[in-house]
Structure 1
Amino acid sequence: MRISTSQFYQTSASNYTNNFSNLVKTGQQASDNIRVRTAADDPVGAARLLQLQQQSNLLDQFDGNITSVRNSLGTAEATLNSITNVLARVKELAVGAGNGGYTDADRKANAQELTQLEEQLYSLMNSRDENGKYIFAGSRGDTQPYVRNADGTYSYQGDQSTLSLQVGDMLSMATNDSGYNVFEQALNTSRSQTNLTFPVVDDGRVSLSDGQVSGSTQYNDRFRGGEPYTITFTNNREFKITDAANNDVTLEATGGGTFDPSKSASISFRGVEMRLDVNLKEGDDPDTAIAGYSFNLASKADEVSGSRSPGNTSSAQINSATITDKSAYSDAFPGGGAIIKFTSATNFEVYAQPMLPDARPVASGALTGTPATKANIAGVDFDFSEPPAGGDQFSVKVDTHQTQNILDTISEFRKALEMPVDTDLASRQKYQAALDSAIGNLESGANKVAEAISSIGARGAALDVQAETNESLKMANTKTQSSIRDADPAEVLIRLNLQQTMLQASQLAFSKISSLSLFNQL
């Protein structure tokens, strides 16, 4: 076999270059202890490192999200704690207002303080976070959640959704609570009402309050199934209650239908507590003066109201909204409220609230009358003050009396405190009923706020657990990356010494062999 001089030099140079490259690479590993720099170093390991780095980046994002959620929850919790303090003070005023020694002046003084508390609560419920977003507007952070209506009531303008951030591979956490869930879902204890049916003209002898729902389960399971009820007084000490089917259900009432007419009595019937006062007049028969007096007892009927959108081009208002067909209303009218959108001056479409961008109309129609200002939508008659313009929108609110927001509760209580009752027995009885309603609804509203605070605490605890889980995953990720990417120091040093020796040997061999020549043998 013949080896030319050029082949020898080329082979020797190539070997030397490879040995030198290996030595440099190993020397770099010895200095920074990194084995895999490119995919060529270890294709499988490099692919695994890429996956692990993606997981590490995701875990870093989760950590940032956890911090954001904690900050949002902390702001909401602080605001709700302030609201709790306001409600506690309002409840103190309500309990104190039941003092028999209070005069109209005392109650008006309390009403003035209550006005300030109402404003403070209104401000707190419209609080913003550090980014200027409304805390309790749901997913509509740029929309003020609560507005004050012309009649002094309050309406919720946010939605029922919440904003969430992913804090773990399989866990997303709500960053806020909607005002709908916190403030709009407080059970209304004033869901029943009584009406004097005989005598036709109220002579003041018998006063029976609308009642307070003391047991929701019993009210929903028993009371709603038998209404309306008729309460008839058989004499000055006894009454009878019959249900809608004329069944005698008196035994389910407190005392089996007996009471003491000399003092205010409390009647408890199927989850409803009513206050009964008998005010006999001079010359009345002490045994039969109120015999035959009767009341109708039932749940409050739904009420529908509407308001115009601020962006409407016309000045049309909804004058009235009346339920005329209860069956059609129950079957088809949106229970959560509706949006009436006019496509022209007479034609309209109806959408269920909240109206999302891709929402479809649930009904449509045209105004009737001359001028065209009347409409019937799913059993509800609407009367507009004037024909609306195309593009006008009207928000329709349905009050089922099942819930009541705490702002409306305080507003009604304030109005009751402003009533003059010192010289009017009937007004005092109405005031007492309003006070009972205020205390019950304040308790219900405070419970919903407490539930929201508890929910925030539970989410905070879940965040702590998830943060620990993420930290464990990060540690395992770092360890796995190190095992794939990092070199073994002992192995690297041994290999470095070997490659240094090989490089020196190749240099020596090249110098020796390159000095050999056939001419040296001649």
Structure 2
Amino acid sequence: MRISSVTMFEQSAASINRQQAEFMKVNEQMASGRRVVNPSDDPQAASRAVGVDQSQAVTQQYADARVSARNALSQTESVLNSVSDAVTSAKTLLVQASSDTLSDVDRESIASEMRGIYETMIGQANATDGNGRYLFGGYADNKPPFVKDADGQVQYAGDSNNREQRIDASRLMPVTSNGEDIFQSVPSGAGYIAQTPPIDADAGTGNKGNVTFTGPNTADVNADGYGDNFEIKFDDNSGDMNVIVNNLDDTSSNPVVDTKYTGGGEDGQTVSFGGLNITLEGEPASGDTVAVQKAGGSEHSADLFSTMEETIRVLEAPNDSPQAKADFRNTVNAAMRNLDNTLDNVLTVRASAGARLNELDVVDGVGANRMQNYKQTLSDLVDLDYVDTISEYSLRQVGMQASQQAFANIKSSSLFDYLR
């Protein structure tokens, strides 16, 4: 078979071009550090690499979400720490104000300090995160959760949900607590609170006598009626003062206690009902009442701001009568229990925030391991093995040089070289 010179030149050029293309491909792999530069290099590996890369991006999004969640929880924990300090300061001032040696001016001075703590609490309850969102408004985080109404009382304007954020594929974590759960709730183990109706001289409301109470104290949680709400009422029956206890949650029953009142002496009178004991002292008027209610129940809302408002009211009012002194003592006693319950509740919520911060650390560790696995898998799929590639680079270089040398030899082979 005769091979023309054109054929030899064309085949030689094609061989050189092929060797150059393979050489340039290896060169491109070395320059990029990747074995799969184009999907056509290894379609199966390229396809798997796309899936791994997407999973890696999702994992990074969860890591960014955990950063945001950690910031919110850290700020929540910091604010709650300040709230607990404020409640402790309020309790200290109430202990100081309870001294019988203080004058009305002294109590007014304490009331001024209490009002400062009260305003501080409102500011902390309306704290925001770094993005301008209110921490304790639930999902209604674009407005202050606590506002004062026309009467100057603080009302909750947020929602009852805890704002949540997905920190991992299988974990939706609450990153804040709503204001109701912090400032208007009590821990599950909270007991009973006793209180008398506040005195309002203009409206003519409040107890007319000067009865005071100590307690109530829990005697038996398994007793009939424990957990119900009660009302102690004084009734002047034919010159004898009786103390009557009614179960407000069981109106069909007779009074659980109906006995003569003997608490006018120095030791007072202890009355037992519904697994509770309460000591009554002083001289009540007929019709006076003392409410004994489960803390945080429907009849006694555990509202930190209402407690502070009532405390400031009695501190600013002059103790110029036995009724006023009894109102002051009873309000302070109830406020101390309310503040204790609030402090326990705040510490419980704060502990929950700390536990979630610890959980974030654990999930961060899991996410970091997962990200490392994705990187290793992606490297195995598309990254370059430099030892093999350098060896192939040298081989392709030799092959290209051989093609070029072969072409140089072939192009010199011509019949005209033999013609004389």
Q: When the two structures are superposed, what TM-score results if normalisation uses the length of structure 1?
A: 0.66
Instruction: Rate the CA distance shift 1:239–1:167 in 2: closer, same or farther, 3 A.
Output: closer
> Residue 337 of structure 2: SS of its match in structure 1?
helix
Tell me the amino acid that sits aligned with residue 512 of structure 1: N
2:225 matched residue in structure 1: 222
* RMSD of equivalent CA atoms: 4.0
User: Post-superposition shift, 1:245?
Assistant: 5.8
1:263 matched residue in structure 2: 267
User: Post-superposition shift, 1:521?
Assistant: 7.2
Q: When the two structures are superposed, what TM-score results if normalisation uses the length of structure 2?
A: 0.80
1:155 matched residue in structure 2: 155
Residues 424-503 of structure 1 correspond to what in structure 2 (within 5 A)?
Answer: 424-503=321-400
Instruction: Rate the CA distance shift 1:48–1:412 in 2: closer, same or farther, 3 A.
Output: same
Residues 142-181 of structure 1 correspond to what in structure 2 (within 5 A)?
Answer: 142-181=142-181
Instruction: Rate the CA distance shift 1:241–1:449 in 2: closer, same or farther, 3 A.
Output: closer
Q: Is the 8 A contact 2:224 2:275 kept in 1?
A: no
Residues 347-386 of structure 1 correspond to what in structure 2 (within 5 A)?
Answer: none
2:202 matched residue in structure 1: none
- What is the aligned counterpart of 2:315 among 404, 417, 421? 417
Q: Distance in 2 between matches of 1:279 and 1:402?
A: 25
Residues 294-373 of structure 1 correspond to what in structure 2 (within 5 A)?
Answer: none
Deviations 1:332-385 (A, max 9, x none): xxxxxxxxxxxxxxxxxxxxxxxxxxxxxxxxxxxxxxxxxxxxxxxxxxxxxx
User: Post-superposition shift, 1:130?
Assistant: 2.7
Q: Is the 8 A contact 2:216 2:278 kept in 1?
A: no
Q: Is the 8 A contact 1:241 1:248 kept in 2?
A: yes
Q: Distance in 2 between matches of 1:87 and 1:156?
A: 19
Instruction: Rate the CA distance shift 1:118–1:266 in 2: closer, same or farther, 3 A.
Output: farther
Q: Unpaired runs of 5+ in structure 2?
A: 198-206
Deviations 1:283-308 (A, max 9, x none): xxxxxxx9xx898877679xxxxxxx
> Residue 16 of structure 2: SS of its match in structure 1?
helix
> Residue 155 of structure 2: SS of its match in structure 1?
strand
User: Post-superposition shift, 1:156?
Assistant: 0.5
2:12 matched residue in structure 1: 12
User: Post-superposition shift, 1:214?
Assistant: 5.3
User: Post-superposition shift, 1:401?
Assistant: 3.1
Q: Distance in 1 between matches of 2:208 and 2:128?
A: 53
Tell me the amino acid that sits aligned with residue 497 of structure 1: S
Q: Distance in 2 between matches of 1:75 and 1:208?
A: 42
> Residue 40 of structure 1: SS of its match in structure 2?
helix
Instruction: Rate the CA distance shift 1:63–1:241 in 2: closer, same or farther, 3 A.
Output: closer
2:137 matched residue in structure 1: 137
Q: Is the 8 A contact 1:213 1:219 kept in 2?
A: no
Q: Distance in 1 between matches of 2:411 and 2:342?
A: 99
- Of 472-481 and 127-136, deviating more is 127-136
Q: Distance in 2 between matches of 1:179 and 1:224?
A: 25
Q: Is the 8 A contact 1:238 1:259 kept in 2?
A: no
Q: Is the 8 A contact 1:26 1:492 kept in 2?
A: yes
- The aligned length equals 400
User: Post-superposition shift, 1:276?
Assistant: 0.6
Q: Unpaired runs of 5+ in structure 1?
A: 195-201, 281-289, 302-398
Q: Distance in 2 between matches of 1:239 and 1:233?
A: 9
> Residue 165 of structure 2: SS of its match in structure 1?
strand
Identical amino acids, percent of aligned pairs: 24
> Residue 276 of structure 1: SS of its match in structure 2?
strand
1:510 matched residue in structure 2: 407
Q: Is the 8 A contact 1:145 1:158 kept in 2?
A: yes
Instruction: Rate the CA distance shift 1:73–1:215 in 2: closer, same or farther, 3 A.
Output: farther
Instruction: Rate the CA distance shift 1:160–1:240 in 2: closer, same or farther, 3 A.
Output: closer
Q: Is the 8 A contact 1:237 1:259 kept in 2?
A: no
Q: Is the 8 A contact 1:213 1:271 kept in 2?
A: no
Tell me the amino acid that sits aligned with residue 332 of structure 2: L
Relative contact order (alpha carbons < 8 A, sep ≥ 6): 1 or 2 greater? Answer: 2
Deviations 1:161-208 (A, max 9, x none): 2333332222233332221221122378547779xxxxxxx884x836
User: Post-superposition shift, 1:89?
Assistant: 0.8
- Of 233-242 and 475-484, deviating more is 233-242
Q: Distance in 2 between matches of 1:216 and 1:42?
A: 79
Q: Distance in 1 between matches of 2:104 and 2:222?
A: 35
1:41 matched residue in structure 2: 41
Q: Distance in 1 between matches of 2:115 and 2:222?
A: 33
1:276 matched residue in structure 2: 280
> Residue 173 of structure 1: SS of its match in structure 2?
strand
Give the structure with the larger helix fraction. Answer: 2
User: Post-superposition shift, 1:493?
Assistant: 2.1
User: Post-superposition shift, 1:238?
Assistant: 10
